[in-house]
Amino acid sequence: MQGLLSVVIPAYNEEQMIEKAISVIGSVLQGAEIPHELIFVDDGSSDTTWRRLSDAARRDSHVHGIHFSRNFGKEAAIMAGLAQARGDCCVVIDCDLQHPPEKIPEMYALWQQGYEVVEGQKSSRGAESMAHAWAAKWFYALISRATGFDMSSASDFKLLDRKAVDVLINMQERNAFFRALSSWIGFQTISISFDVQEREAGQSKWSTKALFRYAVNNIASFSTAPMQLITGLGILMLILSIVLGGIALAQKFMGQALEGFTTVILIQLFSSSIIMISLGIIGYYIARIYDEIKGRPRYIVADTCGYDDES
Ligand code: UDP
Ligand code: MG
């Protein structure tokens, strides 16, 4: 079956990469004779990304573009691209070509054999600082526990069958973590490994602060472990208080009750900090509930290009 392949490409301030991505991905797919469309999602770029995209869409009928009203983040961009895709299967790939497009025909062939989700697994993580690698290791350890899948080499480079795409775009979650959700939905899955390439031009869009927020958000959206931690701490404090209470009472009956002021201060400080941290964690989850319940759209589309029904 030669089904249509939609390639979803999130792009945020990628003016240096747009044309390159179109020509490289386009020629790989043309070479393999795969019917395809390229759906670029401009995630509210502040550079010339959108202008270059609309120009390219005019020249090349394979190219389609969606322009967000502001930056909504990569996950939202992927969801928008999937929602717009008309293909029988979709591939999600980074605009910076760090995910090798040469792998797409291989993924497509697996889809033709009947696999519904083809996961790209990083066989190496590319160049990173030590602190980054360390933080990533912890993050993936937590996420893997929370989802029950090994996420340590997971990436956003995936092929999804129409069935899987429909499930994903109909999910109600505002805060979707694409990488984990696409494992969570199940389906007939197979992995292929790839080497992360160097970024050819432009810069990574992730500051340390953004990565930290991303990690915390995604852990919270897949796991309630931090809240269970509070229960654990409560039990610990209870045991501590029984022991110390026993000592204090014994001392009182032996007539030496005035000692131990330092202990009182230490326990006071310790328990109040634990209480505050706990309130913070609970507050964070409440904020997340609030976000979800408002039901705001995941993204706002300001403009599209490359679709016939527009002027
Ligand atoms: N991206 C996006 N919105 C953002 C940040 C990034 O659509 O807010 C896109 C970006 O254009 C690229 C992909 O997500 O196509 C991966 O981003 P980047 O290369 O900066 O991340 P890294 O490869 O360093 O993890
Ligand atoms: Mg990149």
Residue-wise pLDDT for 29-51, tens only, equals 888 888 999 999 999 888 888 99
Q: Are residues 245 and 287 in the same domain?
A: yes
Domain contains 275: yes
Q: Is 155 helix (H, G, I), strand (E, B) or coil?
A: strand
pLDDT of the residue at 266: 82
Q: How confident is the model at residue 257 (pLDDT cuts 50, 70, 90)?
A: low
**Centre of ligand 2 from the C-alpha of residue 28, in Å:** 20
19 with 54, same domain: the answer is yes
Q: Are residues 192 and 275 in the same domain?
A: no
Mean pLDDT of the region 290-305: 87
**Which pLDDT band, with edges at 50, 70 and 90, does 140 fall under?**
confident
- Calculate the dihedral angle through the C-alpha atoms of 83, 286, 154, 96, rounding to the nearest 10 degrees: 60
Burial 279-307 (b: 16+ CB within 10 A, else e): eebeeeeeeeeeeeeeeeebbeeeebbbe
Question: Of 182, 178, 199, 200, which Cα lies nearest the Cα of 191?
Answer: 182
Q: Write b or e for each residue in 208-238: b if 16 or more Cβ atoms lie within 10 A of its Cβ, otherwise e.
A: eeeeeebbebbbbbbeeebeeebeeeeeeee
Q: What is the pLDDT of residues 198-255, one digit of tens each?
A: 777 767 767 778 778 877 887 887 777 788 888 888 888 889 888 888 888 888 888 7
Question: In degrees rounded to 5, what are phi and psi of residue 5?
Answer: -105, 125
Residue 288 has pLDDT above 70, yes or no: yes
Question: For residue 213, what is the enclosing H or E element?
Answer: helix 208-222
In a domain, 163, yes or no: yes
Which residues are paired to 161 by β-bridges? 89
Nearest to 138 by CA among 216, 224, 231: 216
Torsion of CA 153, 154, 156, 161, to 10 degrees: 140
Higher pLDDT, 309 or 188: 188
Looking at the structure, do residues 136 and 263 belong to the same domain, yes or no? no
Over the stretch 7-20, which tens digit does the pLDDT of each residue have? 999 999 888 888 88
Measured from the Cβ of residue 170, the count of other Cβ atoms closer than 10 Å reads 8
Same domain, 43 and 94: yes
Q: Express as a percent the part of the chain with pLDDT over 90.
A: 20
Q: Indicate the top mutation candidate among 67, 74, 156, 179 to test ligand 1's pocket, ranked by most ligand atoms within 8 A of CB.
A: 74
Q: Does residue 193 sit in helix, strand or coil? A: strand
CA of 95 to the centre of ligand 2 (A): 8
Both tokens of 93, joined, read: 């790939």
Torsion of CA 281, 283, 284, 290, to 10 degrees: 150
Mean pLDDT of the region 132-159: 80
Residues framing ligand 1 (Cβ under 6 A): 10-12, 14, 43, 71, 73-74, 77, 94-96, 98, 204-206
Torsion from C-alpha of 78, 214, 291, 91, nearest 10 degrees: 10
| In a domain? residue 211 | no
Predicted pLDDT at 174:
78
Classified as helix, coil or strand, 205 is: coil
Q: Answer yes or no: do 235 and 180 share one domain.
A: no
pLDDT of residue 311: 43
Task: Let me know whether 195 and 301 are in one domain.
Answer: yes
**Domains held by the chain: number:** 2
Instruction: Pull the structure tokens for residue 90.
Output: 């979709």
Instruction: Give a yes or no: residue 271 inside a domain.
Output: yes
Question: Domain limits at 170?
Answer: 5-206+297-305
Going from the Cα of 144 to the center of ligand 1, the distance in angstroms, rounded, reads: 22
**Neighbouring-strand partners of residue 149:** none
pLDDT over 60 (residue 310): no
pTM: 0.77
Q: For atom 25 of ligand 1, which residue has the closest CA?
A: 204
Residue at 88 is within a domain: yes
Residue nearest to atom 11 of ligand 1 (CA): 11
User: Strand, helix or coil at 157?
Assistant: strand
- Are 191 and 79 found together in one domain? yes
> Please, are residues 3 and 114 in contact by the beta-carbon 8 Å criterion?
no
Q: Give, rounded to a whole angstrom, the gap between the first and last alpha carbons of the chain.
A: 34
Q: Percentages helix, strand, coil for the chain, rounded to the nearest 5?
A: 50, 15, 30
In a domain, 114, yes or no: yes
Rounded-to-integer distance, Cα 172 and Cα 175, Å: 9
> Mean pLDDT across the chain, nearest whole number?
85
**Cα 285 off chain centre by:** 18
My answer on whether 102 and 161 are in the same domain is yes
CATH number, position 121: 3.90.550.10
Helix (H, G, I), strand (E, B) or coil at 152: coil
